[in-house]
Each structure stands twice: as structure tokens, then as C-alpha cells.
């Protein structure tokens, strides 16, 4: 009898200790959120949940709320971002007129727009990978490869073979992949590259805290897709390394995506973005030296990297700025549409100004929760008179924004909070009329293969679908 009594006491002490530890963890998380948060709305939601439901909120906060990117921010300062604007001006490659016309974008990037580039729009996977692989084969000294997803399938093996050949030929070949996006990449694939002399690293490989606890490893991902050859030519866009992007996935069929190839000073800017990620991923300092600057054409480009190490919501600020500048036309294409309040407000303001707004989204879903949330947000746009189009010819994955005839953005940024605040992303901004016209022509063709959503369609949707979409919308801050 006494033994049972003492066991109960002992069990209650253990239980009490667990509760104390749980609330202590919740308190630490709450203080951390108060000191590092960017938005009051998100902070209030976390605090209320931590107070009234410490389990499992404290552990969810570790996985999705606790940001530890101070090292990356310090690395940005160490890498000389503040001095780059001065250097490019001394090199005579800065476009001061365009930079003064778009000061917010230039200040966010801490770089002026760069002139003297040649830009090529690459539509869909075949054109993109043909261009990238041809560029790698022509490399003379250095090859930088960075993708969110690399799969060891037919396309991935083709890439590996080319990189191995170049590494064996004595070129400096470096590869970064994201831990989550490339979680299924085989060890044998990585081993084969390393044995040939290719330097390969996962983005969070050197950061034990991130890998042990998973918080940033799960949530803060490197979503950039960058290839640079000899610091003179670069490729950026929506494609990853997988046969899916060639349209060979039977579920999705045709895969609609866009990449761009830039030849000129902007390629060096892309290389500097890669360098920061490489130094974070490996701890190894890179010194590319200064290549001979080529100016193959007259196009102006700004390379804008953004991510969770930014002091401000740089990506959201940039997109809100260009939206607010629209006067005639605003076309947005994205596979995911889960905008924050600031971006929604900018879109509503544009609609009230009489801007012709078109938002193009996929009809098919690849991530159900995000897809459902996108429906909820898109329906809100439709209620405010903003047309929503659904792409019908396969799956839509490109990330494009076109404002009037003045500026266009192509890159890796999806129209959601994850891209705006959580992921490491990169956008290339173009202002030359030639590139604007090419993007316009491409999007006109995309819209011709899409259908506009009507209010009647909204009314016909089953109740369960509408409830599911609104429920998914609640997760918008983490999507």
C-alpha cells in the first residue's frame, strides 16, 4: 500500500517536473518571439498559443518559429556587401539612371542595377537544360551550381556526368543543394561527384544546431536555383534538377516553367550570391578574383537575393513596391498564391487605381495544403474584382511579375509568405524593352492556355471544398 502511495508521489513529481520544463521552454520561446519577431500579428498568435497550449506549441515553435540566422547576417557584412555598390561604380557597370528610378529595389539589394548585359528567356525545361548544360560544357575555369531540388534521375545523372568531366579536366566545380528539397538525393550520387573532385555541400550541412533540432533545417530553406559559369554567364529561374521539369511526370504532364540566362556583369552578381551561400554552408571563404568584365549587350539587370537573414521583410517590401508603382498593367504568375496582408493591400490598391491585373495560377495541385490556401486567397482577389486565371495545360511552376512596360521580375520567388519571409530566394529584375516584350509575349501565350475563374464557379464549389480552403488559409504564415 505504502509502495503504491510513494510511487504515485514519485510519478507526480516527475509529471510536475515535466510540466515545469515544458513551461520553461514555452517561456524561452515566448521571449525569443518578442525579441526577434517582425510582425505583431504573428507574435500575438504565437504568444497566445504558447501560454494556453504550451504543448505542442513550444515544439512547433522550435520547428517553425525559432529563427537562427545571425551567422548568415554577419557573413553578409563580412563578404563586403556595403562596398559592392562603390566597386561596381568604379568598374563602370552601374546603371545609375535605372537605379534612381527604382531606388527601393536597389537599396534592398545594396547594389545598383547593372548595365551591359545580354538576357535570354528560356521557356520550359528542354530549352533551359539545353542552355545550362551547353554553358557548363563551355566553362573554362569555374562552375557554380545551386538548386533547391536535385534528383538522381536521368536528368540529375546527366548533370553529374558533365560536372564530373569538367572537374577531372581541372575546373573548380562547386554544388550546393537544399537539405529538404534534395532529401532523397542518394549518397552514391554525392559520393561520385566528390570522388571526381566536385565540391558538394548541403546548405545546412555545417550547422549542427539546425540539423539536430531541425527547426531551421525544416523551415528555413534555400530555394535558389543558380548556375554560374566563369563568373560571366548565369542561369536563374524556377527549374530544379528532375525529369519532372521536362514534363515526364505522368501525374502532372507538361511542366510550364521559366528560366533566364544572363551574360554580362549580372552573372558576377549571381556568383556573389552563391559565394555567400557557400561560405554559410561550408565555412570556406571563396575568392573568385575579378574576371574580365564583358558587356555583350545593352540590357540592365538587378540581381536581388532575399532571405530570413534580412533585417527587414526585404522580399515583401520589394514586391509591394513594384505593385504600388503599377499604373496600367500588373501580371503575376505563380504556382502558389498565399500573399501576406501588405501584399494583398498593395494589390487591392492597384485594382482601385484601375490597373489591369491578371493573376495566373495552376489548375493542378502538387502541394495540397498550399493549393487549397491559394484557392482561398484567390477567391478574395476575385471578390475585389481582380481576375484569376487557371493554367490548364499541365502544371504551372514559373514565377513571373510584369509591371506596365517598365519592369519585370523572373526568379525563384513564389507569391507566398514562405518565399517572402522564410526561404532564401533570388529575383532578377529586367527593365530593357526587349526583355519586357519577350516576357509579355510569353505570358500572352500562357493566358491563352488558361481559363478565367468566374463568380458562378465559386458558388458551385462544394461546401467541403470551401471549408477546406478556408482552413488551409489559417496556415498562410508558414506556407
Residue 385 sits at φ, ψ, to 5 deg, of 80, 15
Region 206-220: mean pLDDT is 54
Write b or e for each residue in 313-345: b if 16 or more Cβ atoms lie within 10 A of its Cβ, otherwise e. Answer: bbbbbbbbbbbebbeebbbbbbbbbbbbebbee
314-478 in CATH: which number? 3.30.870.10
Query: What is the pLDDT at residue 155?
Result: 97
Contact 298, 432 (CB under 8 A): yes
CA distance 213 to 300: 43
Average pLDDT, rounded, for the chain:
86
Give the residue, 269 or 81, on which the prediction is more confident: 269
Query: What is the pLDDT at residue 8?
Result: 46
Write down the CATH superfamily of domain 70-100+116-297. Endonuclease Chain A (3.30.870.10)
Q: Give the residue ranges of DSSP H helices in 117-153.
A: 124-137
Query: What is the pLDDT at residue 70?
Result: 55
The lowest-confidence range among 86-90, 190-194, 412-416, 447-451 is 86-90
CB within 8 A of 464, min separation 6: which ones? Answer: none
Catalytic residue among 153, 342, 366, 404: 404
Query: What is the pLDDT at residue 261?
Result: 98
Query: What is the pLDDT at residue 16?
Result: 77
Grid cell for residue 144: 557554380
Catalytic residue among 95, 230, 379, 416: 230
Active site residue 405: no
Give the residue, 379 or 302, on which the prediction is more confident: 302
Say what angle helices 54-64 and 2-36 make with each other, to 10 degrees: 40
Q: Please, what is the Cα angle at 176 between 173 and 177, to 5 degrees?
A: 140
Local confidence band at 35 (pLDDT 50, 70, 90 cut-offs): confident
Q: What is the largest CA-CA distance in the chain?
A: 90
> Taking the model in full, what pTM does it have?
0.87
Local confidence band at 52 (pLDDT 50, 70, 90 cut-offs): confident
Report, in angstroms and rounded to the nearest whole number, the Rg of the chain calculated over CA atoms.
24
What DSSP letter does each residue of 167-223 carry, written as one string? Answer: HHTT-EEEEEE-TTTTTT--HHHHHHHHHTT-EEEETTTT-HHHHHH-HHHHHS-B-
Active site residue 397: yes
> Which SS3 state, helix, strand or coil, does residue 242 take?
coil
Peptide linkage before 56 cis (omega within 30 of 0)? yes
CA distance 314 to 141: 33
DSSP letter at 326?
Answer: -
Active site residue 223: yes
Residue 230 sits at φ, ψ, to 5 deg, of 55, 20
Region 32-56: mean pLDDT is 74
Grid cell for residue 147: 538548386
CA distance 350 to 332: 13
The lowest-confidence range among 309-323, 401-415, 427-441 is 309-323
- pLDDT-above-70 percentage for the chain: 87
Contact 133, 158 (CB under 8 A): yes
* Residue whose entry in the numeric block shows the C-alpha cell 526585404: 314
Highest mean pLDDT among 1-15, 79-93, 106-120: 106-120
Write b or e for each residue in 427-436: b if 16 or more Cβ atoms lie within 10 A of its Cβ, otherwise e. Answer: bbbbbbeebb
Q: Evaluate if residue 458 carries a pLDDT over 60.
A: yes
Q: Evaluate if residue 430 carries a pLDDT over 60.
A: yes
**Is the fold of 70-100+116-297 the same as that of 314-478?**
yes
Catalytic residue among 151, 225, 232, 239: 225
Active site residue 230: yes
Q: Among 217, 214, 154, which Cα is nearest to 182's?
A: 217
Query: What is the pLDDT at residue 479?
Result: 58
> pLDDT tens for residues 305-355?
998 888 778 999 999 999 999 999 999 999 998 888 889 999 999 999 999
CA distance 143 to 48: 49
Query: What is the pLDDT at residue 212?
Result: 46
Contact 224, 305 (CB under 8 A): yes
Q: Within 13 Å and on the Cβ side, how many CA atoms surround 34?
A: 9
Catalytic residue among 232, 239, 399, 432: 399
Q: Among 222, 192, 223, which Cα is nearest to 204's?
A: 222
Q: Evaluate if residue 215 carries a pLDDT over 70.
A: no
CA distance 468 to 479: 15
CA distance 243 to 151: 8
Query: What is the pLDDT at residue 356?
Result: 96
For the chain, give every domain's residue range. Answer: 2-64, 70-100+116-297, 314-478
CB within 8 A of 372, min separation 6: which ones? Answer: 365, 468, 469, 471, 472, 473
Say what angle helices 81-91 and 70-78 make with each other, to 10 degrees: 30
Q: Evaluate if residue 10 carries a pLDDT over 90.
A: no
Active site residue 225: yes
> Which SS3 state, helix, strand or coil, does residue 121 take?
strand
Q: Is 216 exposed, middle or buried (0-12, 13-18, 19+ CB in 10 A)?
A: buried
CA distance 359 to 382: 10
Query: What is the pLDDT at residue 177?
Result: 96
Q: Evaluate if residue 1 carries a pLDDT over 50.
A: no
Active site residue 342: no
Q: Evaluate if residue 108 carries a pLDDT over 50.
A: yes
Q: Among 369, 394, 50, 411, which Cα is nearest to 262's?
A: 411
> pLDDT tens for residues 159-212?
999 999 999 999 999 999 998 899 889 999 999 999 999 999 998 877 655 444
Amino acid at each position: 500500500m505504502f509502495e503504491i502511495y510513494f510511487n504515485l508521489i514519485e510519478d507526480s513529481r516527475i509529471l510536475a517536473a515535466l510540466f515545469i520544463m515544458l513551461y520553461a521552454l514555452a517561456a524561452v520561446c515566448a521571449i525569443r518571439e518578442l525579441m526577434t519577431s517582425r510582425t505583431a500579428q504573428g507574435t500575438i498568435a504565437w504568444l497566445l498559443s504558447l501560454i494556453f497550449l504550451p504543448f505542442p506549441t513550444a515544439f512547433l515553435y522550435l520547428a517553425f518559429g525559432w529563427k537562427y540566422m545571425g551567422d548568415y547576417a554577419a557573413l553578409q557584412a563580412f563578404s563586403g556587401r556595403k562596398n559592392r555598390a562603390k566597386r561596381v561604380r568604379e568598374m563602370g557597370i552601374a546603371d545609375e539612371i535605372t537605379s534612381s528610378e527604382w531606388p527601393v529595389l536597389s537599396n534592398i539589394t545594396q547594389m545598383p542595377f547593372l548595365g551591359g548585359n545580354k538576357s535570354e528567356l528560356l521557356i520550359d525545361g528542354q530549352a533551359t537544360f539545353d542552355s545550362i548544360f551547353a554553358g557548363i560544357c563551355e566553362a573554362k575555369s569555374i562552375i557554380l551550381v545551386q538548386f533547391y531540388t536535385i534528383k538522381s534521375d536521368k536528368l540529375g545523372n546527366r548533370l553529374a556526368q558533365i560536372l564530373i568531366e569538367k572537374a577531372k579536366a581541372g575546373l573548380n566545380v562547386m554544388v550546393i543543394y537544399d537539405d529538404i528539397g534534395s532529401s532523397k538525393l542518394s549518397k552514391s550520387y554525392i559520393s561520385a561527384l566528390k570522388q571526381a573532385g566536385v565540391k558538394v555541400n548541403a546548405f545546412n550541412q555545417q550547422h549542427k544546431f539546425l540539423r539536430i533540432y531541425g527547426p531551421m533545417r525544416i523551415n528555413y530553406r534555400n530555394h535558389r536555383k543558380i548556375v554560374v559559369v566563369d563568373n560571366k554567364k548565369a542561369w536563374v529561374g524556377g527549374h530544379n534538377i528532375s525529369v519532372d521539369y521536362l514534363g515526364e511526370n505522368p501525374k502532372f504532364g507538361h511542366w510550364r516553367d521559366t528560366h533566364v540566362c544572363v551574360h554580362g556583369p549580372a552573372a558576377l552578381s549571381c556568383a556573389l550570391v552563391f559565394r555567400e551561400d557557400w561560405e554559410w554552408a561550408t565555412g570556406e571563404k571563396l575568392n573568385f578574383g575579378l574576371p574580365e568584365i564583358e558587356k555583350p549587350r545593352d540590357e540592365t539587370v538587378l540581381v536581388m537575393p532575399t532571405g530570413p537573414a534580412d533585417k527587414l521583410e526585404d522580399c515583401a517590401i520589394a514586391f509591394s513596391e513594384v505593385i504600388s508603382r503599377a499604373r496600367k498593367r500588373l501580371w503575376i504568375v505563380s504556382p502558389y498564391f498565399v500573399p501576406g496582408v501588405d501584399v494583398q493591400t498593395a494589390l487591392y490598391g492597384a485594382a482601385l487605381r484601375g490597373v489591369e491585373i491578371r493573376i495566373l495560377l495552376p489548375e493542378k495541385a502538387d502541394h495540397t495544403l498550399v493549393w487549397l490556401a491559394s484557392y482561398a486567397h484567390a477567391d478574395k482577389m476575385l471578390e475585389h474584382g481582380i481576375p484569376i486565371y487557371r493554367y490548364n495545360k499541365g502544371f504551372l511552376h514559373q514565377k513571373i511579375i510584369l509591371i506596365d512596360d517598365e519592369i519585370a521580375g523572373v526568379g525563384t520567388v513564389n507569391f507566398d509568405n514562405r518565399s517572402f519571409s522564410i526561404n532564401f530566394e533570388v529575383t532578377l529584375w529586367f527593365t530593357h524593352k526587349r526583355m519586357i516584350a519577350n516576357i509579355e509575349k510569353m505570358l500572352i501565350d500562357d493566358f491563352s492556355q488558361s481559363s478565367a475563374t468566374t463568380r458562378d464557379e465559386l458558388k458551385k464549389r462544394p461546401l467541403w471544398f470551401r471549408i477546406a480552403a478556408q482552413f488551409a488559409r489559417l496556415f498562410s504564415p508558414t506556407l
